[in-house]
Structure 1
Amino acid sequence: MADENISDLIEHYLKEILAENEQVKIRRSEIAGLFDVVPSQINYVINTRFTIQNGYIVESKRGGGGYIRIEKVHLLDDIDVLNSLIAAIGNKLSKRDSETIVQTLYNNELINRREVSIILAAIDKDAIDLNNSDLTDILRANIMVSILNRLRYER
């Protein structure tokens, strides 16, 4: 663990709690105090490591009684998660984000290894490179949305 940075440690801590519970409800300031970081560091970890693409739903309530609730979702059980993934993709999708989505689908046993390979080949820059990164990201988003839509309706 010596090579891990503070964001990795915070992520690991929260994932340990989530391994024991379906969800975790935290106060940003308490976690920041525990790790001796500014509260914005907690925001960074949650916004980058606990996304819908990674299989998490995050709810935040601001104010005096505010909290952040992180819930691990099971894609097989919840079609709303696929809908949320589709909504999160938007018009453009980076290669990195698309790979994260594919990994999440695989981790939740929605697709198998062979399907992972096929999807990764379909969204690879070599397959869809249009000599314009914006157009390539738009095409990748369209492909991923199409795949996710197909998964929503075929079981």
Structure 2
Amino acid sequence: MANQNVSDVIEQYLKALLEADEQVEIRRAAIAEQFNCVPSQINYVIKTRFTPERGYVVESKRGGGGYIRILKVKVRSGCGLVEWMIERLPRRIREEDARVMIQKLYDEGIVERQTGNMMLSVLSRQTLNVGDRETEEHLRARLMLAFLQSLQYER
């Protein structure tokens, strides 16, 4: 644990809570106090590590009785992970987010290692090489959509 930063420790803590229950409700200030960090550190961890691409939905309520609720995503019966990803795919996607989605597809046995690595290669910044970030992210999202749609019919 000596090599871990506070974000990693907070992430592991929240994931451990989610192991026991598919939903956890926290108070940002209480968690920040527990880990001796600023509340914005909690926001950062939740925003970057508990995303739909990683299998989570986050809800929050501000104010005196406010909370942050993290839920493990359950894919609806009859609607697979690929369809779920297609429905929620943004118009622009960062390379890291594409990597996380491909890892999830691999972890769930939807793509094999070789296919996942090929997808990563095609979606990499080096391969796209379009110059500006916005165009790159739009192109990556379109390619990811094409990959996901092709996976719907290969089963």
Identical positions, percent: 43
Residue aligning to 2:91? 91
Equivalent residues in 2 for 1:128-147 (5 A)?
Answer: 128-147=128-147
Look up the equivalent residue of 1:101 and give its one-letter code.
Answer: M
Q: How many residues align?
A: 155
Residue aligning to 2:53? 53
Shift in alpha-carbon separation, 1:77–1:6, aligned structure 2, 3 A: farther
Bigger shift: 68-77 or 17-26? 68-77
Residue aligning to 2:69? 69
Structure 1 unaligned blocks of 5 or more: none
Normalised to the residue count of structure 1, the TM-score between the two structures is 0.81
Residue aligning to 2:40? 40
Report how far residue 40 of structure 1 moved. Answer: 1.5
Would the aligned equivalents of 1:56 and 1:71 in 2 still touch at CA under 8 Å? yes
Query: 1:53-80: CA deviations, max 9, x gaps?
Result: 2111111122222211112225585848
| In 1: Cα distance, 2:85 partner to 2:56 partner | 10
Bigger shift: 31-40 or 73-82? 73-82
Bigger shift: 124-133 or 114-123? 124-133
Shift in alpha-carbon separation, 1:81–1:121, aligned structure 2, 3 A: same
Would the aligned equivalents of 2:75 and 2:84 in 1 still touch at CA under 8 Å? no
| In 1: Cα distance, 2:45 partner to 2:72 partner | 15
Bigger shift: 108-117 or 9-18? 108-117
Report how far residue 47 of structure 1 moved. Answer: 0.4
SS at 1:57's partner residue?
A: strand
Structure 2 unaligned blocks of 5 or more: none
Whichever structure has more helix as a proportion of its residues is 1
Query: 1:119-153: CA deviations, max 9, x gaps?
Result: 11321334332344433322111111222344457
| In 1: Cα distance, 2:38 partner to 2:78 partner | 34
Report how far residue 34 of structure 1 moved. Answer: 0.9
The Cα RMSD (Å) is 2.7
Residue aligning to 2:4? 4
Look up the equivalent residue of 1:71 and give its one-letter code.
Answer: L
Residue aligning to 2:104? 104
Residue aligning to 2:116? 116
